[in-house]
Structures are given as structure tokens and as C-alpha cells.
């Protein structure tokens, strides 16, 4: 078996010498009473349905779960390329079908009781038993069993090198099984503990839940029993639902908040010396798809047409609309992930001419469908679509724009009836396996009318990546898959949007992580 050992992080316990006011929720920056001298205030537009990690799969929900519940596996800072031990270390067999986790000695829940193997098994089997729970799919094909008080064995139906990365998902946080069972928790699908967990937490994380108002604000306090590596520098955290990014900007500049999570590139550019920003590429990819079903797009259902579109675009011109932190998508796998390509394609109009001839293009108008009310990473789709239309027009490809609300356009995309579409994809967990659905015959491939029979060679590359058991061979397999998709796929990756985390100058440690947005416990006073 190969093994991994725990990395130690430096715990910090400084107390903030800051006085902040206005801890009201909603879009108001005022009127909520004064916070203490060791309070942290965070503004974000809420995307959360519950504080129960077993039912949570939204950005704000993941950030909250990360603060309240620890997972077996962790990531350090913004780096999601290498899983590290969280509550446990692990070993795996050479076939990547058996993983044995050993809990760290001495770890306790917020009531002082020990974290044991039974808690891990219950927490994860609870999710497996709740078919309607959003994180349920993460543990498909995984068997979880207790070996002894400190040891848990995971077995998988197929090789699953991505299992440690999956187990870092905040939705898979470990619950105090005794407490949750007393309050309606079960593993047989009859669980009713969500109401209890919306009122109080039952985890081992650095914070405990004080109050939860899904429309206005969430208040956390320090877990006095916490004995891990991420002790908080703040006694109290207030997460406010501020839906307008302009209000978040005003609150940050006015000193009413210390962290703003939803500023776009233009707003970040207005920040001064009293604010800092961490701008990095996110894990989402904005892309074009050209449907390969002749019943949808007729004679232009071919990858040569996709190739023409791919090489007709001026990607630097598109990036101008994306703002700070954004980068060109080098392929269907974003740059932060294993197997991502080093560089994306460059505009080549000679290649466009040849591809159009091979595609049988004779001036037909393509209708570009896209959601016009759902910006991704601050990127508005309407101006992006307009620029794509102009660039393709310059290359001799006629495009008609067909915007629609997200809710209605989503059906066409999911059902595979969208002929030429502008969409986005984000990972469900921090591993390149998330991007294999672009392959022919899989989820995103089928949304583009791309069946398994259309390109069995790329299908075989995807299968090789999914089944790889050696790390180096796996990286090579994902790279080969990404290269083939850029050459012969019906997708045109465009932009990986930036993620901007803005803070007051006297705050540090607020860095973006694609799994849980930010780790609140890592935030501390500067200096």
C-alpha cells in the first residue's frame, strides 16, 4: 500500500484589534448592532438551503460546512491539486479500490466527545441513505465500514484514485453520530435531523453555529473544544447576505465589512490601498458547444464546423470582458487540474477557411443560444455573445443571437436540443474526473448530441483516464483526453473566469478554494 502522512499547518490565535459595525443582514450595511473587537464580517450573495452538510451542495453552504465540520481529507489554501490529511491519514491498495483511513488521535467534537470511526461511517452512510440529498452521488459505488474505533475501510466497485479528493468535499463533513441520532439521524433514508442541524451544529470544526437565517445572516462562534490545526483568530463570525455586488463594494470601502466575495473585475479595479484582493482563475469553464445531432443542426452537425469556430475566435479579445483573475481555457480541463493543457488555441483564419470547406458551410446562419440572466464569475453572457458574434462574422460565419432566461434555456441545454450554445461547467469535486462527462456518450457529450459511436477513440481515452491506478499514467491519460477533445471535439473552451476575494487591508488569509469558496478559519488579522 502507498501511504500519506499528515502535514501540519500553523495554528493561529491572535485576537483582532478591530471594531466593526453594522452586522445586519440583507442588503443594508447598517442597523444591526455592534460586533465585538474580535468579530469577522463577511459579505456574500447567499447560495445556501441548509446548515446540514448532508443536504448542502451550494457555494455558501459549502463555506459554512467547512467552518463547522471537518472532513477526512483536506486541501491547503487554494491548492486543490494535492489532497492532504484532514481528520485522518490514509493508505490505498495498488488497484485504487481499497482505502483505509486512520483517524488522528485525540480529536473531539464541540461537546468534547471523541471523534471515532463510528461517526465517520454514520455520517457518510447517512448521505448514502438519503437518495434525495444533493451530495448523495459523491459516494456512489463506495462501501464504508468500521474496522475499529480509529480505522475506516472504503472499497470501490472500480478504480477510484479520486476518492480522497471527493472526501475533501465539505458536504462530507463528519457529524457527532450520538447527537445526530438522538435528533432524528438515520442511515436508512428516514433521516429527519436537518431541522436540528439548522439550529445547532454537531461537528469538530473550528466554529459552532449560533444562528442561521437563510435570508439575512449566519452567525458563528468559536468552538471552545477545537483542537485541530486551524484554530480561528476570531471569536465571532457574521456572514451577511448582501445580494448586490455594488453594496458589497461600498461596505468594504466604508469599513462596514472585512471580506467581500462577489466583486467583479471592474469593481476590483476601483479598490485602493485600504483593500486587498486575491484574484485567481476559478474552476469553472465557459464554453461553446456545436450540437452533433443532424436532427438539431442539420448538415452542420460535424466537428469540422466546431474546429472552424475554435480557430476563428480572438481569445484575448474575449478575455477583455472577463476581468481580473480570468484566463483563457486551454481545454475542457481548467488549468488548476491534473492533465490540463499548457496553452489554448490561437486564432488561425487560414485554418478556419479550410475547416469551413470541410464542414460544408455555405453561409448558413448559426443561432447562438445562451442564458442572459446568469453571470458566471462576473462574466455577463450577453456582451460575451455579442463579441463572439462579431468575431465569427469577421471570419465569415454568420451568427444570430438567441438569449433566454436561465431557467428556460437550461432545459434546451440539458435535453440536447440546443444547436449552438454558450454555457459553463464547474466541478463537483476537486479532481479531473469531473471533466470526463465531456466525452462522447457521457453527460455533457450527449447534451451536444455527441454519442459514444461518434468518436470511440476519445471514449477510450476517457475510459483510460477514469480507470488509471498509477498517478503518472493517470496524468498522461487526462492530458491525452484533453488534447483529443481540442482536436476532434464539438466543444470550444473559451474562458476560465476569475474569482475575486476582496478584503480590508488589515485582514489576511482569505483565499479562494474551488471546493468551499474560502476557509473562514484561515482568515486572520494582518501582522
- What are the structural domains, with CATH classification, of the chain? 2-279+500-525 (3.40.190.10), 285-496 (3.10.105.10)
DSSP conformation class of 15: P
Question: Would you give per-residue pLDDT tens digits along the chain (527 residues)?
Answer: 444 433 333 333 333 333 333 333 333 333 333 333 489 999 999 999 999 999 999 999 999 999 999 999 999 988 898 999 999 999 999 999 999 999 999 999 999 999 999 999 999 999 999 999 999 999 999 999 999 999 999 999 999 999 999 999 999 999 999 999 999 999 999 999 999 999 999 999 999 999 999 999 999 999 999 999 999 999 999 999 998 999 999 999 999 999 999 998 889 999 999 999 999 899 999 999 999 999 999 999 999 999 999 999 999 999 999 988 899 999 999 988 999 999 999 999 999 999 999 999 999 999 999 999 888 888 999 999 999 999 999 999 999 999 999 888 999 999 999 999 999 998 889 999 999 999 999 999 999 999 999 999 999 999 999 999 999 999 999 999 999 999 999 999 999 999 999 999 999 999 999 999 999 999 999 97
Q: How many CA atoms lie within 13 A of 421 on its CB side?
A: 28
Closest CA to 520 of 221, 310, 277: 221
CB 515 within 8 Å of CB 169: yes
Place of cell 453527460: 443
pTM of the model: 0.85
Closest CA to 236 of 452, 467, 5, 523: 523
Cα 66 to Cα 102, 160, 172, 371: the distances in Å are 20, 24, 10, 31
Is 125 strand, coil or helix? helix
Q: E strands, 307-409, where?
A: 327-328, 365-371, 398-404
Is 74 strand, coil or helix? strand
Which cell is 8 given? 501540519
- Give a three-class secondary structure readout of 100-122: EEEECCCCECCCCCECCHHHHHH
Closest CA to 431 of 322, 318, 340: 340
Q: Which helix (H) or strand (E) holds 425?
A: strand 420-425
Closest CA to 46 of 229, 243, 236: 243
Amino acid at each position: 500500500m502507498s501511504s500519506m502522512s499528515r502535514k501540519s499547518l500553523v495554528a493561529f490565535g491572535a485576537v483582532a484589534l478591530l471594531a466593526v459595525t453594522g452586522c445586519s443582514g440583507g442588503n443594508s450595511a447598517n442597523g444591526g448592532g455592534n460586533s465585538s473587537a474580535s468579530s469577522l464580517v463577511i459579505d456574500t450573495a447567499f447560495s445556501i438551503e441548509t446548515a446540514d452538510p448532508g443536504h448542502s451542495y451550494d457555494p455558501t453552504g459549502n463555506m459554512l460546512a467547512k467552518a463547522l465540520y471537518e472532513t477526512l481529507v483536506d486541501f491547503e489554501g487554494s491548492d486543490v491539486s494535492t489532497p492532504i490529511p484532514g481528520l485522518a491519514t490514509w493508505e490505498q491498495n495498488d488497484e485504487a479500490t481499497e482505502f483505509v483511513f486512520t483517524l488522528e488521535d485525540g480529536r473531539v467534537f464541540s461537546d468534547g466527545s471523541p471523534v471515532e470511526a463510528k461517526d465517520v461511517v454514520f455520517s457518510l452512510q447517512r448521505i448514502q441513505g438519503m437518495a434525495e440529498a444533493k451530495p448523495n452521488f459523491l459516494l456512489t459505488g463506495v462501501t464504508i465500514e468500521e474496522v475499529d474505533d480509529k480505522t475506516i475501510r472504503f472499497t470501490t466497485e472500480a478504480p477510484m484514485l479520486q476518492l480522497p479528493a471527493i472526501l475533501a468535499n465539505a458536504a462530507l463533513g463528519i457529524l457527532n453520530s450520538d447527537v445526530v441520532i438522538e435528533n432524528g439521524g438515520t442511515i436508512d433514508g428516514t433521516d429527519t435531523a436537518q431541522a436540528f442541524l439548522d439550529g445547532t451544529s454537531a461537528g469538530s470544526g473550528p466554529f459552532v453555529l449560533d444562528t442561521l437565517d437563510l435570508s439575512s445572516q449566519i452567525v458563528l462562534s468559536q468552538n471552545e473544544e477545537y483542537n485541530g490545526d486551524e484554530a480561528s483568530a476570531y471569536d465571532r463570525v457574521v456572514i451577511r447576505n448582501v445580494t448586490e455586488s455594488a453594496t458589497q463594494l461600498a461596505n468594504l470601502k466604508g469599513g462596514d465589512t472585512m471580506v467581500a466575495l462577489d466583486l467583479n473585475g471592474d469593481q476590483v479595479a476601483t479598490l485602493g490601498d485600504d483593500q486587498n484582493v486575491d484574484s485567481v482563475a476559478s474552476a469553472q469553464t465557459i464554453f461553446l458547444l456545436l450540437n452533433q445531432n443532424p436532427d438539431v443542426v442539420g448538415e452542420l452537425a460535424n466537428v469540422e464546423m466546431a474546429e472552424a469556430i475554435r480557430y476563428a475566435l480572438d481569445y484575448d479579445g474575449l478575455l477583455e470582458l472577463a476581468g481580473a483573475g480570468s484566463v483563457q481555457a486551454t481545454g475542457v480541463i481548467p488549468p488548476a487540474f491534473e492533465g490540463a493543457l499548457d496553452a489554448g488555441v490561437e486564432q488561425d483564419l487560414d485554418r478556419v477557411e479550410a475547416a469551413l470547406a470541410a464542414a460544408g458551410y455555405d453561409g448558413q446562419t448559426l443561432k447562438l443560444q445562451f442564458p442572459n440572466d446568469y453571470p458566471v464569475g462576473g462574466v455577463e453572457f450577453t456582451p460575451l455573445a455579442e463579441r463572439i458574434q462579431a468575431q465569427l462574422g469577421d471570419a465569415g460565419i454568420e451568427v444570430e443571437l438567441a438569449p433566454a432566461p436561465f431557467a428556460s434555456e437550461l432545459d434546451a441545454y440539458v435535453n440536447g436540443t440546443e444547436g449552438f450554445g454558450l454555457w459553463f461547467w464547474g466541478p463537483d469535486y476537486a479532481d479531473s474526473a469531473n471533466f470526463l462527462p465531456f466525452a462522447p456518450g457521457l453527460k455533457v457529450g450527449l447534451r451536444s448530441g455527441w454519442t459514444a459511436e461518434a468518436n470511440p477513440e476519445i471514449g477510450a481515452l476517457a475510459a483510460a483516464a477514469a480507470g488509471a491506478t498509477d498517478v503518472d499514467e493517470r496524468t498522461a491519460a487526462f492530458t491525452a483526453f484533453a488534447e483529443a477533445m481540442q482536436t476532434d471535439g464539438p466543444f470550444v473552451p473559451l474562458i476560465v473566469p476569475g474569482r475575486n476575494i476582496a478584503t480590508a487591508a488589515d485582514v489576511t488569509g482569505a483565499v479562494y478554494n474551488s471546493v468551499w469558496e474560502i476557509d473562514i478559519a484561515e482568515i486572520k488579522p494582518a501582522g
